[in-house]
């Protein structure tokens, strides 16, 4: 058994154990963050049957995943990085989920491209939950307006996404995101990474993004 599969199985076991201790939580979608890793490193996990993968650059995703997705239609690709408007038409072609919708301008561009390509993408609105200048995401004060606009455009917004400040305890932000998601009556919540995914799951995360704990450190 490869080291990657062993690490993956250990994560599954850990999540199941955590869920048994917290009866209100459900098993989440694990997004294996494959960004920067070459395909040969990811193939053991694909062959094992895992289907959800996260990339943060559109061009890298196209080069890496186009042929694999044709051969294995069950694979779902998640864009977890910032999406520039000039890359939207390419992103809609390759990605099944976009976790970084954060502006009215981007929402309009996605809606236009979905119509042109006759394709619906599942979307998360990224919230700048820590109010950090350097982070992407919609400010809290503009969240309701953006979500309402997305509904007008008939975009398939399924939930919210956040990346809490790295140097702070993420749990308080996860709790806040859980409340925001409930207020908007959304069913999915994308939050939690290798360092804090168990805390995220305890706060109703339905999608967690795990990279280094599966594939090892990036060079």
Helices (H), 73-142: 88-94, 104-117
**What would the two tokens of residue 209 be?**
């993004």
Query: Quick one: pLDDT at residue 219?
Result: 62
CA nearest to 155, candidates 203, 208, 77, 98: 98
CB 32 within 8 A of CB 211: yes
**Calpha distance 187→16 (Å, rounded):** 21
**Calpha distance 54→13 (Å, rounded):** 21
User: What is the dotted CATH code of the domain comprising 3-214?
Assistant: 3.20.20.10
**What would the two tokens of residue 62 be?**
């196209």
Consecutive H or E run containing 197:
helix 197-202
Task: Profile the chain (219 residues) by mean pLDDT over runs of 10 residues.
Answer: 92 93 86 94 96 97 96 97 96 98 98 97 96 88 97 98 91 96 97 95 96 87
Q: Which residues contact 208 (CB under 8 A, 6 or more apart)?
A: 28, 29, 30, 31, 190, 191, 192, 193, 197, 200, 201
Q: In this predicted model, what pLDDT tens digit does every residue of 79-107 receive, in sequence order?
A: 999 999 999 999 999 999 999 999 999 99
CA 46-52-58 angle, to 5 degrees, is: 100
What is the residue whose two structure tokens read 């994308």?
190
CB 206 within 8 A of CB 190: yes
CB atoms within 10 A of CB 178: 18
Model-level pTM?
0.95
CB atoms within 10 A of CB 4: 20
Rounded alpha-carbon distances, angstroms, from residue 53 to 97, 123, 160, 170, 213: 10, 15, 18, 23, 14
Query: Quick one: pLDDT at residue 218?
Result: 73
Which regions of 128-206 does DSSP assign to beta strands (E)? Answer: 157-162, 188-190
At 83, phi and psi to the nearest 5? -110, 120
Query: Quick one: pLDDT at residue 44?
Result: 95
Query: Quick one: pLDDT at residue 195?
Result: 92
CB 142 within 8 A of CB 100: no
Residue boundaries of the structural domains of the chain: 3-214
């Amino acid at each position: 058994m490869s080291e990657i599969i062993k690490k993956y199985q250990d994560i599954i076991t850990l999540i199941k154990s955590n869920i048994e201790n917290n009866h209100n939580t459900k098993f989440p979608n694990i997004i294996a963050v494959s960004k920067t890793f070459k395909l040969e490193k990811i193939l053991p996990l694909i062959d094992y049957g895992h289907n959800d993968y996260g990339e943060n650059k559109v061009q890298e995703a196209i080069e890496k995943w186009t042929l694999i997705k044709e051969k294995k239609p069950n694979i779902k690709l998640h864009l977890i990085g910032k999406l520039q408007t000039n890359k939207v038409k390419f992103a809609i072609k390759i990605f099944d989920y976009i976790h970084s919708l954060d502006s009215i301008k981007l929402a309009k561009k996605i809606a236009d491209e979905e119509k042109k390509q006759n394709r619906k993408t599942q979307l998360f609105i990224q919230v700048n939950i820590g109010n950090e200048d350097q982070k992407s995401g919609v400010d809290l004060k503009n969240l309701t307006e953006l979500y309402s606009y997305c509904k007008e455009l008939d975009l398939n917004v399924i939930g919210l996404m956040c990346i809490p400040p790295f140097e702070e305890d993420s749990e308080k932000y996860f709790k806040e995101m859980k409340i925001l998601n409930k207020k908007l009556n959304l069913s999915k919540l994308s939050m939690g990474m290798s360092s804090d995914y168990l805390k995220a799951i305890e706060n109703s995360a339905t999608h967690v993004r795990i990279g280094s704990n599966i594939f090892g450190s990036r060079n």
